[in-house]
Structure 1
Amino acid sequence: METTCICGDPETSKNHSFGAVSVPIYQTATFAHPGIGESTGHNYTRESNPTRDELEKTVSALEGAVDTVACTSGMAAISLMMELFDSGSHFVCTEDLYGGSVRIFEALEKKRGFSFSYINTADVEAVEKAITDQTKALYIETPSNPTMQVTDLAEMSRLATKHGLLLIVDNTFLSPYLQNPIAQGADLVVHSGTKFLGGHNDTLAGFLCTPIKALAEQIRYLFKTIGSGLSPFDSFLVLRGIKTLSVRVERQQENAMKIASWLKEQKKVTDVYYVGLPEHPGYEINQKQSRGAGSMISFRTDTEETARKVLERVKLISYAESLGGVESLITYPMLQTHGDVPVEIRERLGITETFLRLSVGIENVDDLIADLEQALA
């Protein structure tokens, strides 16, 4: 995995012009034809571009996919994916989804006649009960955003096969370095490449991967038709980020475990949600299907006043949306990432005024703990 992060597809990366070690940025909109009916393999960047191709092949290698498309954002990748389905389709989804996913699903309910059932997908029986004759796919986030629920992907694959459904997994939180849903039976994998894959909070990107050739062909046709392809320069930035994915994630995960353990001991913290803690209800399943717990922590404070004080007093940690970068970020999900989720659903999930989400970076862990300590004081 570490070598794939660096080298990607050896056949592609070893054939750069002039022996360039880094992928060149092919900042061109169009490509000349050698002759009538002939092509260099690229015609127009909306359809394909050599820089983006290398990124897509690298992500395919990391996820075990036959093909991947790189989009302008994670939401663009989800939008593209939903074009695979006909009007009237029903989806069974993890109840605790990224708020942007819920927002686009609500829009599609109105415009396309789609319907969505939000279920605790850790409960296999509840998932099966939610499947109807109109159900076309299971849409899973594990760990979920932001309450860190864990879903058994092998069980979801079993249900998908039994009922003739597609299994879709958002793998943003763990990245392909720690979890490979395709190996667990997923048919489609989506990523916000802005997060761990890019890793530096400096560019937006999204990915849609599949191990199924027929699906890959459909996706490629929609991709070039809709025009959601990532630019050559942004493709270069994400490729550069992936080269350090393994070392970044290892350091972030190490820091997260220390911070989660420290948070457990704080009087003003009532609950800590981190899948690397043995007491987490999804610990064993996550251990079974992944290679680590990642670096996303959520925690609950004793009062709303404490939560707001933390957000306003952190100095090293930034109060900002997003996650997965080298910088540590803290977020107020009820106002930010999940602001569009109906209040009654948020409160049922526990995303309240006292709930905070922390994306742990690669800073010195003692400095991060000291920052949290002074903010909680």
Structure 2
Amino acid sequence: MKTVAIVGASLAGLSAARSLRVQGYDGRLLVIGDESHRPYDRPPLSKEFLTGAVSEAELALETDGEDLGAEWILGARAVGLGTRDRTVRLADDREVRADGVVIATGATARTLPGSDGLAGVHVVRTLDDARALRDDLALGGRLMVVGGGFVGAEVASTARGMGLDVTLVVAGPTPLSGVLGPDMAAAVSLLHGDHGVRLLCGTGVRGVTGGPADGSGTDRGRVTAVLLDDGRSIPADIVVAGIGATPCTGWLEGSGVALDNGVRCGTDGTTSVPGVVAVGDCAAWYDPALTDHRRIEHWTGAKERPATAVAALLSGGTAPFAPPRPPYFWSDQYGVRIQFAGHAAQADSVTVEDGDPADRSFLAVYRRAGHPVAVLGVDRTKVFTRWRRQLATAAAQAGVA
């Protein structure tokens, strides 16, 4: 391969670029990104960046003096892929040809019905999103967070620490119930009440309302309330939608790359098209443990998996590889570190093995037929790390790491 194009300039794209060089690729390397920013770290956007504890400069993922010998094409959105000659078409009518392509276009945040053009309504996906939310949070007031995933819970925690009045609306029974299972999610969700955040569970959101900023009726103005499915209208000065993300794969429609809630990949990131691999939030890798394709929208996956995909790209899919480790994520909320590894959905039982949920510090192990398939740690970093290692070892020995 003389030229490799990486489409996507966030952590997954940067990890792919680094892996290419580490694995000996010395050809032309192009990194294409639709944002104007160089790669930056996203987890702090819902936490320390909002409070000012982390600056924009500190978000940078490239190390001082790092030079990957890449050509950066930033502020350029990919709109098509010609798979026969591996040509990436850009929105500005440019075309980039390559021998190999790494798809790392990530995902875009879902928005609330009726929120277009309404000030005070936010998502948190990009640096620009976080900048706008930070400016609004500095004004104080009533914050309504919609969605009980990690982003929503972290924004709620951060804003409450800044003194805002915070309400968290969740369609399910508790925040994180889909990831942690109902029992452990209920235990973790007690953190919100401990810190004065109101939880409204079991109801969705119909939309948002607002009024003209100047009373003239000529614009939509600023958000004033959130309308719930149960008919209630909850006043709000700021609204954050944390209701999931949609993989950025529209530009691949008609290309021949198989899509199914993301780019459909094998266990090594290979796609249906030779010379094209996919990594990061847009990539649905086959998971032998689940016997299904699954997108992993977490930092660790974007950091670790590109090495496997790059090896497959350079070898034409013949490189030996170890299947990915069980998915892992962490979340910091109210000064508590929450860590999880594995798949809660596989479990038929879950037991607390260390600590006590009443103390908001415990470790729980999920099992299927007596075998560990997942582990949750709440302020139990050391013992969680040991269990995570055991989980990965057991999965590898079973051939479904």
What TM-score do you get using the length of structure 2 for normalisation?
0.27
What TM-score do you get using the length of structure 1 for normalisation?
0.28
From the two aligned structures, give the one with the greater strand fraction: 2
